[in-house]
Amino acid sequence: MHLEIVSPEQIILSGEVKTVSVPGINGEFQMLDNHAPVVSVLKSGSIKLDSSVNLPKGLKDKFYQENSKMCFDISGGVIELNDNKVVILID
């Protein structure tokens, strides 16, 4: 599925991922390929991607590895998943 992480200043990441986990207001949840449509508010926490994601060289310093996941900390935002495209708007 295609993932875009967007801040007010820039597009943080735009690329293909196998899984993405986000800190929803009712707890962390994970989305896989062909997941049902989702719209949710996000709280402070980490966006977690499968470690096979190919991060461009300029973005590797924004992410950190935790176990087998690549993580990116956020203070909140919203997420929409529809037609295998995930858009995360972060604060």
Was domain 2-90 assigned CATH 3.40.50.300?
no
pTM confidence score: 0.92
Higher pLDDT, 75 or 91: 75
| Confidence at 28, pLDDT banded by 50, 70, 90 | very high
Domain spans, the chain: 2-90
Higher pLDDT, 59 or 2: 2
Q: Which residues pair with 81 in a beta bridge?
A: 38, 86
Q: Report whether 43 contacts 76 (CB < 8 A).
A: yes
Mean pLDDT of the chain: 92
Distance CA 86, CA 59 (A): 19
Q: What is the pLDDT of residues 29-58, one digit of tens each?
A: 999 988 999 999 999 999 999 988 888 787
- What pLDDT, on the 0 to 100 scale, is given for residue 58? 79
